[in-house]
Amino acid sequence: MSAKWNNSAAAATRTSIIPAVIVEPPAEGNGHALHAPVLVLNTSYEPINVCAARRAIVLVLKGVAMTEEENGHFLHAARLAIRVPSVIRLLEYRRIPHQTRALSRKNILLRDRNTCQYCCELLPSGELTLDHVIPRSRGGASTWENLVACCHPCNRRKGNHFPMEAGMKLMREPRAFNLHTSRHIMRLIGRSDDKWRKYLFY
């Protein structure tokens, strides 16, 4: 009975701590600290993902992961202060499928690095749309190989045409996310954080 009560009390404590930490602003007043990118490693130290600091803190507090590197910031809650992680490592090995990312607008923009694939302009997400290289009205499917990031002017110019018909050319052939693509994106995101380098084999 005592063990059961202790387990329930521990679970309640974890549940109460996590929201308290997440909603508190950082002591430095940096409102972006919870959105800072954190590198996620498998138990084997293999880099497998990038998540926001907010998510990383939850994983650490739940005992799913441990902090390997910190970014120098603190988050303060009513009862404790937590160092914001820069790199975390999962405590149980996760088998990662060959294709790990869902087909979505967010992931297409991530793959194409927020760059219009026709005019090569780097833009904020809100100023980009998705273009079907082969238009849907002409048999084009919504797949990794047929969707690209596109600015609104290029999207209007291309309209219901193939790129060649509109006198336009793609920067690169669109491909599905794979391990190489994911690692490359991790390296691009991690350039501003020296603590990531040893895990990404610079």
| 153-178 per-position pLDDT tens digit | 999 999 999 999 999 999 999 988 76
Given a cut of 50, whether residue 18 has pLDDT beyond it is no
What is residue 29's predicted lDDT score, i.e. its pLDDT? 40
- pLDDT tier at 193, thresholds 50, 70, 90: confident
91 with 112, same domain: the answer is: no
- Contact predicate 24/73, CB 8 Å: no
Residue 163 lies in a domain: no
CA distance 185 to 182: 5
What is residue 100's predicted lDDT score, i.e. its pLDDT? 58
9 with 65, same domain: the answer is: yes
More confidently predicted of 150 and 191: 150
26 with 71, same domain: the answer is: yes
60 with 131, same domain: the answer is: no
Given a cut of 60, whether residue 32 has pLDDT beyond it is yes
More confidently predicted of 67 and 106: 67
Per-residue buried b or exposed e for 88-100, using 16+ beta carbons within 10 Å of the residue's own CB:
bbbeeeeeeeeee
Q: Which of 26-40, 118-132, 183-197 has the highest mean pLDDT?
A: 118-132
67 with 153, same domain: the answer is: no
- Contact predicate 55/90, CB 8 Å: no
132 with 80, same domain: the answer is: no
Given a cut of 70, whether residue 19 has pLDDT beyond it is no
126 with 74, same domain: the answer is: no
What is residue 24's predicted lDDT score, i.e. its pLDDT? 33
Number of folded domains that form the chain: 2
8 with 87, same domain: the answer is: yes
Domain of residue 147 covers 105-158
- pLDDT tier at 151, thresholds 50, 70, 90: very high
Residue 173 lies in a domain: no
> Residues of the chain with pLDDT > 70: what percent?
75
Given a cut of 60, whether residue 99 has pLDDT beyond it is no
For the chain, counts of helices (H) and of strands (E): 5, 6
Given a cut of 90, whether residue 52 has pLDDT beyond it is no
Given a cut of 70, whether residue 180 has pLDDT beyond it is no
Q: What share of the chain is helix, strand, coil (3-state, %, to 5)?
A: 35, 25, 40
- pLDDT tier at 186, thresholds 50, 70, 90: confident
89 with 115, same domain: the answer is: no
Residue 48 lies in a domain: yes
Given a cut of 90, whether residue 6 has pLDDT beyond it is no
More confidently predicted of 142 and 12: 142
